[in-house]
């Protein structure tokens, strides 16, 4: 295991290495993707908040900074990461701790993604080391800072295969004064998707919509107390005074934390993540007939719990979108295309980018294949 002390060490170790390297910060997502046979590059020393200006809504931190440290710092100023990064520690039964660099490298976003945008949309700038051992930076500390290639969006979701993030800058947002969630019970999947679609398409400003079979549809409202109350009344009228209950404050936050972490599916050995057109969610469920599932993003995100991977059956049920095998035993991940296989043109572009940033193929080789 290699343990760099700072960015300069990272660059020196990558440049001098002749073997494959697996960059690891907290390690909470090591169980996602094809298993990597490589020497571990332990980035845990690259931790800590570098600069935080609450008035400017911008925070810069080293890549291995734990998400919990950011939440505490932001919470002290009534601010938050609007893309609501999920914590998959329980789902993956891992011992690692989620970090800001890992979240951005995976482009992981929680239930608020449908209204606040993805992690990459809040990723303003970074410092990193390429597979050549070259230190470089891109972006800045403001939203409109791109005069050339938008490299933060390129590295978001690259899973450490192009470069090793050492420092990141993100946009933060004020936390709402109040939140509540309307939990609708007794709905079949098709009715649940219709309720979520109607709520998200209304003027009620619903910030998240999910369906947990056996529990119901959750519709979240956030903002100032008078505004939330008025929108809550309008939402009930829109849905025809449905059967349900309100989850307030901490109860609402716990509900959405569990949705983002996919807690209802933790007992399953196989978990798929399907990104689909929201209107096709019911059709996918009918074609797939899953053992267990939950819907997020108004039906645009389907989590499937299963006992077998069966990639052909899962991907064959899609009529658009993509499927990622998020949880599976190591031997299953080694034998399965974990990420959706790219089309020919996209595969060619991906190969050229890999050759430009990591020509020797040293960083996380095979993880995305």
**Sequential pLDDT tens for the chain (369 residues):** 999 999 999 999 999 999 999 999 999 999 999 999 999 999 999 999 999 999 999 999 999 999 999 999 999 999 999 999 999 999 998 778 999 999 999 999 999 999 999 999 999 999 999 999 999 999 887 655 555 578 999 999 999 999 999 999 999 999 999 999 999 999 999 999 999 999 999 999 999 999 999 899 999 999 999 999 999 999 999 999 888 899 999 999 999 999 999 999 999 999 999 999 988 999 999 999 999 999 999 999 999 999 999 999 999 999 989 999 999 999 999 999 999 998 889 999 999 999 999 999 999 999 997
Q: Judge if 231 and 296 occupy the same domain.
A: no
Q: Judge if 283 and 161 occupy the same domain.
A: no
Q: Tell me the residue length of the chain.
A: 369
Among 152, 174, 196, the domain boundary falls at: 174
- Residue 144 is assigned to a structural domain of this protein: yes
- Residue 341 is assigned to a structural domain of this protein: no
In the DSSP assignment, the letter for residue 342 is: P
Q: By C-alpha distance, which of 320, 275, 283, 272 is closest to 301?
A: 275
pTM score: 0.94
Among 138, 155, 174, the domain boundary falls at: 174
- Residue 312 is assigned to a structural domain of this protein: yes
Give the whole-angstrom CA distance, residue 255 versus residue 184: 13
Give the whole-angstrom CA distance, residue 154 versus residue 109: 16
Q: Judge if 148 and 195 occupy the same domain.
A: no
Among 259, 275, 290, the domain boundary falls at: 259
- Token output for 158: 């690259």
Give the whole-angstrom CA distance, residue 163 versus residue 49: 21
Q: Judge if 54 and 163 occupy the same domain.
A: yes
What is the distance of C-alpha 143 from the center of its chain?
20
Q: Judge if 160 and 300 occupy the same domain.
A: no
- Residue 360 is assigned to a structural domain of this protein: no
Q: Judge if 18 and 97 occupy the same domain.
A: yes
Distances (CA, A) of 88 to 80, 85, 259, 291: 19, 10, 11, 20
Q: Judge if 283 and 303 occupy the same domain.
A: yes
First to last CA, the chain: 24
237: CATH: 3.30.70.2190
Q: Judge if 16 and 64 occupy the same domain.
A: yes
In the DSSP assignment, the letter for residue 363 is: B
Q: Judge if 131 and 217 occupy the same domain.
A: no
Give the whole-angstrom CA distance, residue 69 versus residue 166: 17
- Residue 210 is assigned to a structural domain of this protein: yes
| pLDDT at 144 (0 to 100) | 56
Q: Are 300 and 278 in contact (CB under 8 A)?
A: yes
Q: Are 90 and 263 in contact (CB under 8 A)?
A: yes
- Residue 113 is assigned to a structural domain of this protein: yes
Q: Judge if 101 and 11 occupy the same domain.
A: yes
Residue 209 CB partners (closer than 8 Å, separation 6+) = 111, 114, 196, 199, 200, 217, 218, 219, 220, 296, 297, 298, 299
- Residue 355 is assigned to a structural domain of this protein: no
79: CATH: 3.30.465.10
Q: By C-alpha distance, which of 48, 162, 45 is closest to 100?
A: 48
Give the whole-angstrom CA distance, residue 323 versus residue 23: 24
- Token output for 214: 């056996």
Supply the Cα-derived Rg of the chain in whole angstroms.
Answer: 21
- Residue 290 is assigned to a structural domain of this protein: yes
Q: Judge if 161 and 26 occupy the same domain.
A: yes
What range does the domain containing 284 cover? 263-335
Q: Are 244 and 222 in contact (CB under 8 A)?
A: no
Q: Judge if 44 and 142 occupy the same domain.
A: yes
Residue carrying structure tokens 């005069």: 147
Give the whole-angstrom CA distance, residue 278 versus residue 274: 11
Which tens digits make up the pLDDT trace of 124-167?
999 999 999 999 999 887 655 555 578 999 999 999 999 999 99
283: CATH: 3.30.70
Give the whole-angstrom CA distance, residue 185 versus residue 73: 37
């Amino acid at each position: 295991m290699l343990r760099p002390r700072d960015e300069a060490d990272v660059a020196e170790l990558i440049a001098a290495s002749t073997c494959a390297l697996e960059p690891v910060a907290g390690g909470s997502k090591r169980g996602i993707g094809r298993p990597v046979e490589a020497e571990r590059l332990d980035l845990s020393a690259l931790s800590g908040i570098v600069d935080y200006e609450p008035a400017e809504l911008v925070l810069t931190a080293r890549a291995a900074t734990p998400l919990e440290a950011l939440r505490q710092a932001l919470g002290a100023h009534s601010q938050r990461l609007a893309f609501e990064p999920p914590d998959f520690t329980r789902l993956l039964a891992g011992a690692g701790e989620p970090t800001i660099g890992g979240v951005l490298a995976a482009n992981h976003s929680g239930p608020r993604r449908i209204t606040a945008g993805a992690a990459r949309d809040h990723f303003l700038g970074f410092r990193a080391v390429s597979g050549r051992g070259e230190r470089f930076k891109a972006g800045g500390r403001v939203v409109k800072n791109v005069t050339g290639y938008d490299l933060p969006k390129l590295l978001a979701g690259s899973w450490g295969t192009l470069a090793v993030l050492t420092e990141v800058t993100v946009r933060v947002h004020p936390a709402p004064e109040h939140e509540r969630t309307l939990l609708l019970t007794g709905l079949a999947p098709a009715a649940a998707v219709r309720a979520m679609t109607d709520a998200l398409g209304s003027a009620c400003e619903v910030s998240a919509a999910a369906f947990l079979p056996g529990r119901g549809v959750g519709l979240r409202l956030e903002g100032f107390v008078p505004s939330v109350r008025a929108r809550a009344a309008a939402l009930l009228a829109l849905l025809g005074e449905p059967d349900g209950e309100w989850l307030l404050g901490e109860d609402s936050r716990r509900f959405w934390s569990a949705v983002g972490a996919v807690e209802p599916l933790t007992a399953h050995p196989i978990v798929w993540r399907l990104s689909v057109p929201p209107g096709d969610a019911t059709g996918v469920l009918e074609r797939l007939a899953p053992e267990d599932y939950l819907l997020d993003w108004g039906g645009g995100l389907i989590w499937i719990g299963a006992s077998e991977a069966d990639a052909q059956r899962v991907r064959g049920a899609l009529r658009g979108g993509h499927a990622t095998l998020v949880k599976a035993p190591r031997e299953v991940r080694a034998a399965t295309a974990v990420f959706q296989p790219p089309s020919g043109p996209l595969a060619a572009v991906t190969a050229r980018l890999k050759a430009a940033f990591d020509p020797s193929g040293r960083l996380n080789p095979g993880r995305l294949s």
